Amino acid sequence: MTESVQPSLLSGFDLSTPLPGIPNMASELPVARVVIDSAVPHLDRPFDYLVPTELDAMAQPGVRVKVRFGGQELAGFLTERLEHSEPGLKLQPLRSVISPEIVLSAPVLAVARAVAERYAGGVWDVLRSAVPARMARMETQKATDSDGALEKGSVEAVDDVPLARPAPVPEDALLAEYHGGADYARLLRNGESPRAVLSAVPNRPGDWPALLLQAAEQALASGRGVLIVVPDARDLARLTSTLDERLGPEAYARLTAEDGATPRYRNFLRVARGQSQLVVGTRNAAFAPVKDLGLVIIWDDADNSHAEPRAPYHHAREVLLLRCGIENAGMLLVAPGRSAEAQRLVRSGWAHELGADRSLLRANAPRVIAASDEFEAERDPLLHAARLPAAAWREAKAALAHGPVLVQVARTGFMPALRCERCRTPARCTTCNGPLALGDARGAPACGWCGLVAHDWNCVECGFMRLRASSIGADRTAEELGRAFPNIKVVAATGAKPLHTVPDTPALVVATPGAEPVAANGYAAVLLLDGDRMLSREGLRTGEEVLNRWMGAAHLARGRDATAERPGGGTVVVAGDPTEPMRALVRFDAAAYAQTELDERRDLGLPPAVRLAMVRGPAAAADKFMDALDLGGEVRRHGPVLEGEGEHRWLLFFSYAEGPAVTAALRAMRATFSAAKEPIVAIRIDPDGIL
């Protein structure tokens, strides 16, 4: 706030012989350790400053500060107050404390550091995700100000609520339906921190939001905080509507970028001030400064919305894993399917599997039909155009008498790579050599790897300028289906045009994976049309991804048996050639499939049975970087692979045990190269979709 700098202070002070007191500086703990806002790798460490007397009171660990660094003024977080610094340093004074609000708690800083270590990235990059942008007005605003509804839950309102209410033992009936679920609930209530993985049985009362809430309530009953992370706005809306109904909107704080900077910071402040013990949100909420954290829950960790698209590309599941280690909290991974990573946690004994009886699953899961060999589809031009097998058409037709029908189609990103219309040479990106695909609704071809839009593409082989566009997106499928089902309402929901819910009336709902709207009483039928297309994509994890997307959609279907609200029961039709993922869907057993996949990866030495790092950069720099790395003999190196314009890509495979040493070595080497002004190499840890 107050500008503290006086000319005489700018020269700095030598604190090697500390005290007795420096004029105008705090007499107790005069040194402030600060994490500065710098993207430069070799500056990714704390720096010490002196605290001027007038900033003494506000300069608490966790506040935002401004400091002079080199020539410039930088933002930073004050992390510690110390009696003295390293000998021989000339300390500058702190320029200002931006606000007295403690926005970076000690545990969250520790988590951010662990995340930066794990991903060989900068602490500041992690903090950028962890602490939302400051909105100054939110810090001073009173509960009586303006828009009333939004202001509930501010300091005054919460202080009025008596905290010591007789706490009833929370419900755990839904959790107890799983083997070990009742024990898991009891441990949480008793203040312990159990860890579990659970594949949800569909069509139970309240569905997964009710299940997550029950788990949360166990930990809340022990007086501890709870954090729930979901992939996207749709799932958050579903969860918060359950929380609103059962606990009321004051009982939790929601943290998501989608709300906009101001509400997000308002809710963040409630959490930071300890006014909210239950936090729900999307991936960055994994860093929410929940006090006395007892349990972290992640819903659908296989959804790649959980992966941060900016450096250091951390995944919410991994953030939470590190976090529950640091804060000694329990963890619960709940999903409609099973990621190989979650299965690994079960297999290694780190987490318990809370399994369900086959009978419970059979009674609640939809009927699954594999429509594998379909000659009829070829004969009927309407069905062929909509690439609808006859069995799917029949099921949909019957189901439409009872309710809405979901049609899952592949995202355009899943389409086979585009080719030259004349010579059929695959179209590749001119900069990174990645496959081109139709990126947006207007059909501009874009690179599937780097996203670069190829405006003036021409074939490298024959020079032809037109691409073969075989892609059919959700919108076109919707049109085709409209013709195949006259008089039925058709709606399309894609990532670009999201739709969270649909009414419980007959309609065809065409959606891409992850964007499926929720039907109030479930879908009468779910058609999974593009399995072959999705499975044809190159990639180590394609089968697992496709199965998890199918399971996600299948969870939106009614149970097989008809009920009063759900006449006709629910059916899932999966079209395509018989494959392992399809068989796993028919058995409704994603865990077994994930285990098979994991075993196979272990035999092959591939992720996630092992960890992976990628180093990419200008050929000479990348090679030099790899050459300078000193890694243990157990680390497998693979490369260089030529990529794009004179770029080399290297891969490193290493065990989880070696992980910390490898990422530390990569981080240290990057700092060395950065200081030596070597060309920048990109480092990605456990990247998805490159194998």
Euclidean distance between CA atoms 367 and 518, whole angstroms:
18
Q: State in angstroms the smallest separation of the CB of 676 from DNA.
A: 7
**What Cα–Cα distance (Å) separates residue 107 from each residue in 61, 97, 272?**
12, 21, 12
**Residue-by-residue DSSP string for 524-541:** SEEEE--HHHHHTS--TT
Q: Judged by CB under 7 A, does residue 6 bind DNA?
A: no
Euclidean distance between CA atoms 93 and 87, whole angstroms:
16
Q: Which two tokens stand for residue 49?
A: 């400053």
Which residues within the stretch 358-377 sit at the binding site for DNA (CB under 7 A)? Answer: none
Q: Name residue 96's beta-bridge partners.
A: 66
Q: Judged by CB under 7 A, does residue 653 bind DNA?
A: no
End-to-end CA distance of the chain: 51
Which residues within the stretch 170-189 sit at the binding site for DNA (CB under 7 A)? Answer: none
Q: Judged by CB under 7 A, does residue 14 bind DNA?
A: no
Q: State in angstroms the smallest separation of the CB of 50 from DNA.
A: 7
CA 386 to centroid of chain Cα atoms: 33
CA 434 to centroid of chain Cα atoms: 24
Q: Judged by CB under 7 A, does residue 68 bind DNA?
A: yes
Q: Which amino acid is at 598?
A: L
Judged by CB under 7 A, the residue of 30, 47, 98, 300 near DNA is 47
462 is in an annotated binding site: yes
**What Cα–Cα distance (Å) separates residue 165 from each residue in 168, 221, 467?**
9, 11, 67
The H or E element spanning position 332 is: strand 330-335
The H or E element spanning position 117 is: helix 106-118
Q: State in angstroms the smallest separation of the CB of 92 from DNA.
A: 4
Q: State in angstroms the smallest separation of the CB of 21 from DNA.
A: 18
Q: Judged by CB under 7 A, does residue 86 bind DNA?
A: yes
Among the listed ranges 67-75, 174-182, 476-484, 657-665, the one in contact with DNA (CB under 7 A) is: 67-75
Among the listed ranges 45-53, 139-147, 505-513, 584-592, the one in contact with DNA (CB under 7 A) is: 45-53
Q: Count other Cβ atoms within 10 Å, centred on residue 599.
A: 13
Judged by CB under 7 A, the residue of 27, 675, 679, 682 near DNA is 675
By beta-carbon proximity to DNA, the closer residue of 59 and 226 is 59
Q: Judged by CB under 7 A, does residue 42 bind DNA?
A: yes
450 is in an annotated binding site: yes
Q: Judged by CB under 7 A, does residue 166 bind DNA?
A: no
SS3 240: helix
Which residues within the stretch 91-150 sit at the binding site for DNA (CB under 7 A)? Answer: 91-92
By beta-carbon proximity to DNA, the closer residue of 76 and 355 is 76
Which residues within the stretch 418-447 sit at the binding site for DNA (CB under 7 A)? Answer: none
Q: Count other Cβ atoms within 10 Å, centred on residue 410.
A: 27
Q: Judged by CB under 7 A, does residue 12 bind DNA?
A: yes
By beta-carbon proximity to DNA, the closer residue of 165 and 677 is 677
Euclidean distance between CA atoms 349 and 339, whole angstroms:
16
The size of the interface with DNA (CB under 7 A), counted in residues, is 21
By beta-carbon proximity to DNA, the closer residue of 46 and 416 is 46
**What Cα–Cα distance (Å) separates residue 361 from each residue in 181, 202, 559, 633?**
15, 8, 9, 46
Phi-psi region of 522 (alpha: psi -120 to 50; beta: other; left: phi over 0): left
Judged by CB under 7 A, the residue of 4, 79, 85, 277 near DNA is 85
Q: Which amino acid is at 368?
A: V
Among the listed ranges 63-71, 285-293, 348-356, 507-515, the one in contact with DNA (CB under 7 A) is: 63-71
Is-contact 509 482, C-beta < 8 A?
Answer: no
Q: Judged by CB under 7 A, does residue 282 bind DNA?
A: no
Binding residues: 420, 423, 429, 432, 447, 450, 459, 462
Binding residues for Zn(2+): 420, 423, 429, 432, 447, 450, 459, 462
Binding site for DNA (CB under 7 A): 12, 40, 42-43, 46-50, 68-72, 85-86, 89-92, 675
